[in-house]
Structure 1
Amino acid sequence: MAGARAVPRALSGRGPDRFLWALDKMATGMEWLQRNSRRNRPPIAAVDRDIPLEVAEVRAEADDVVSLRLVGEGLLPAWQPGAHLDVVLPSGRTRQYSLCGEPGDRRYYRVAVRRLADGAGGSREVHDELRPGSRITARGPRNAFPFITAERYLFIAGGIGITPILPMVRTAAARGADWRFVYTGRSRESMPFLDELAELDPERVWVRPDTEFGIPASGAELLEHAPPGAAVYCCGPIPMITGVRLDLPGSTADSLHWERFSAPPIIDGEPFTVELARTGRTVEVPADRTALEAITEVLPQVSYSCRQGFCGTCHVRVLDGAVDHRARAADDHMAICVSRSAGRVVLDL
């Protein structure tokens, strides 16, 4: 889970290559708007509690996707659609997973994880090592993708992006709102929770696998389903979100709220060195990677959440060296998910 944003229609148009970056900038309008949208967003509230959980069920939901049913001692803390857990795996790795169960049922939490063969190891650990009876620790829940009250909604999900969207759809239906849901993916076999969508109003749900249409859907095609004045909630791959942002002004929708599961591209990055004072380790950060990515290879327990520079979870105290601040942080702290250094920086890790 990465960051989320809400953009009014008049301001809208959310891959680490320059083409996608250019599209992202075009959709956002200009760098000023991007900076100010982060400045105006309230920080994600810190939740300083560890919740011991046990894996009650591991269920295959699609190709390379499993869901985990997590239980604790008694009722679990309440949550709202869009919320996620910081899950501390047995290895010490910390990963963020959107809650995708029933918000009103506090007897359990449910998350779903797609296996990423070339990822940093968290998804492989979930798939290969967690079994019923496994114990983990969670922090939260907390919400970086809040679900607003509206009369009309369009929900758009791509693949595993259905995880925060599904509870929103159920909540909108329970409230009696006018809603539509478009669900895309590579193929039906890769798309989790199709069986649960069958329980919803079929007139309001459109399942659109790429294999059945030949090409991915454009933003305009997805937005065709929006009721007039709808709040659009979108979660999935960067190209899909970017297409929706670009085409929103030509639609009947009113606002766009989105969440993506990947970090923004690194532009004009230079390599630098990070010294970890507590552990005595030295980490080299290449031009095309973040300090967070490099540090978590040697310290997988380092906490982070949005990977966009606005939540503050990954802020680390700077003991020496200059920081190129690319996020709001105290002068003596570094947001290691996006900020960089001109040469060398010593961190309190």
Structure 2
Amino acid sequence: MKTLITSIRDIGPDLKLFALASCDRPLFPSFEPGAHIDVLTPAGVTRQYSLCGDPCDRRTQSILVKRQAASRGGSDSMHSLTSGQTLEIGQPRNAFALRNDPGKQLLFSAGVGITPIVSMAHALTASGRDFSWRHFARASDFAQLHDALSLDKFDAALTVGTDLSRDQIVRTIECALSANIACRSVYACGPAGFMTAVAEHSAQILPDATVRTEGFAPAAADPASRSFPVHLARSNKTLDVAQQETLLDALRRNGVVIASGCEQGVCGSCVIEVLEGTVLHNDEVLSNEERDVQRLMCPCVSRAQGRLTLNL
């Protein structure tokens, strides 16, 4: 889908907020809170960005782009854009859905992880559902971000911790969980260590709660990865995935075309169905429940313990 960049707002030295309008139609497709879009960056690589606007506003879509220090060209090229230029984007997809659970919802975000949580806050506010939100940020960034994302409408539910140490953040998480002992739904987005802290303390303090997290960096590859055989049930082919080869690459090498996006286990566009076998999950997309069932996998990063049978 072709979009027009209607505005770009600088938020500190490393963040830019992009407002997009559709070039082909007056309104964008509706999206669910927590959803993201694929963006074809000027560098020619596809990156995923969460939609951080109001899901009820279909005239504009907003994404927040952080310039990454180790960028392979994607975020750098996005930061070189100006208002009036165009971007190709994909349809909204959601691997971080807001569940329709009763009772109060707990939201946690840190840094740029605020982006999918903002859309959740919009949806919860619009539906009159009770929620509490803790966000952690650098003070130098947050004042501008608060204004740019119109966060004042969530001030009653939002508590912000700025320039806190790791221990202070953990204590704040523990206090927030302990103060909401009846909560059964927890959502977190931010750096891997932050999300791990939320998940671990939720398990201790709210053992009956469902915890959903979303990350924007691939899981570290296992240096001890082994080769494994794969049987394709529909085409009745068997192939071998080499030790230093991804399943996605092995499928392509054997003429099997799979849609893909980031190829880092983040976007979820290459998820395939597993009929038999044990998957070693390395993605940041599937929920814990989906991983336990062992019926889906991301072939771009995940591997197998022994033989796999796929619905391909």
TM over 0.5: yes
Alignment of 1:1-349 (within 5 A): 51-72=1-22, 73=24, 74-128=26-80, 130-150=81-101, 151-185=103-137, 187-191=138-142, 193-195=145-147, 196=149, 198-209=151-162, 211-212=163-164, 215-218=167-170, 219-226=173-180, 228-252=182-206, 254-269=209-224, 303-305=260-262, 307-308=264-265, 311-313=268-270, 326=280, 335-339=299-303
Is the alpha carbon distance of 1:313 and 1:127 closer, same or farther for their aligned partners in structure 2, counting shifts above 3 Å? same
RCO greater where, 1 or 2, for CA within 8 Å and sep 6 or more?
1
1:190 is displaced (CA, Å) by 3.5
Task: Find the aligned partners of 1:310 and 1:167 in 2 and give their Cα distance.
Answer: 18
1:208 is displaced (CA, Å) by 0.8
Aligned CA-pair RMSD: 3.4
Task: Find the aligned partners of 2:191 and 2:27 in 1 and give their Cα distance.
Answer: 34
Task: Find the aligned partners of 1:140 and 1:212 in 2 and give their Cα distance.
Answer: 37
Task: Find the aligned partners of 1:152 and 1:306 in 2 and give their Cα distance.
Answer: 35
2:231 corresponds to: none
Q: Is the 8 A contact 2:246 2:299 kept in 1?
A: no
Task: Find the aligned partners of 1:66 and 1:304 in 2 and give their Cα distance.
Answer: 22
1:90 is displaced (CA, Å) by 2.8
Is the alpha carbon distance of 1:286 and 1:221 closer, same or farther for their aligned partners in structure 2, counting shifts above 3 Å? farther
Count of matched residue pairs? 256
Cα offsets for 1:211-250 (capped at 9, x unmatched): 2457451142452453622411111111111111111133
Q: Is the 8 A contact 2:9 2:17 kept in 1?
A: yes
Q: Is the 8 A contact 1:99 1:163 kept in 2?
A: yes
Is the alpha carbon distance of 1:269 and 1:124 closer, same or farther for their aligned partners in structure 2, counting shifts above 3 Å? farther
1:87 is displaced (CA, Å) by 0.6
5+ residue gaps, structure 1: 1-50, 273-284, 294-301, 316-323, 341-349
Cα offsets for 1:309-333 (capped at 9, x unmatched): 8935288xxxxxxxx9756899xx9
Give 1:308's aligned amino acid.
G
Is the alpha carbon distance of 1:153 and 1:314 closer, same or farther for their aligned partners in structure 2, counting shifts above 3 Å? closer
Give 1:81's aligned amino acid.
P
Q: Is the 8 A contact 1:309 1:337 kept in 2?
A: no
Is the alpha carbon distance of 1:61 and 1:310 closer, same or farther for their aligned partners in structure 2, counting shifts above 3 Å? closer
Task: Find the aligned partners of 1:311 and 1:88 in 2 and give their Cα distance.
Answer: 16
Task: Find the aligned partners of 1:329 and 1:249 in 2 and give their Cα distance.
Answer: 25
Output the TM-score relative to the length of structure 1.
0.64
Task: Find the aligned partners of 1:58 and 1:237 in 2 and give their Cα distance.
Answer: 25
Identity, in percent, stands at 25
Task: Find the aligned partners of 2:85 and 2:181 in 1 and give their Cα distance.
Answer: 44
Question: Equivalent residue of 1:208, what SS?
Answer: strand
Task: Find the aligned partners of 2:189 and 2:197 in 1 and give their Cα distance.
Answer: 12
Q: Is the 8 A contact 2:177 2:205 kept in 1?
A: yes
Question: Equivalent residue of 2:123, what SS?
Answer: helix
Q: Is the 8 A contact 1:179 1:227 kept in 2?
A: no
Output the TM-score relative to the length of structure 2.
0.71
Cα offsets for 1:51-90 (capped at 9, x unmatched): 1111111111344111111111321111110111111123
Question: Equivalent residue of 1:133, what SS?
Answer: coil
Task: Find the aligned partners of 2:246 and 2:136 in 1 and give their Cα distance.
Answer: 30
5+ residue gaps, structure 2: 228-241, 250-258, 273-277, 282-293, 305-312
Task: Find the aligned partners of 1:222 and 1:314 in 2 and give their Cα distance.
Answer: 34
Give 2:2's aligned amino acid.
P
Is the alpha carbon distance of 1:89 and 1:188 closer, same or farther for their aligned partners in structure 2, counting shifts above 3 Å? same
1:92 is displaced (CA, Å) by 1.8
Q: Is the 8 A contact 1:234 1:241 kept in 2?
A: yes
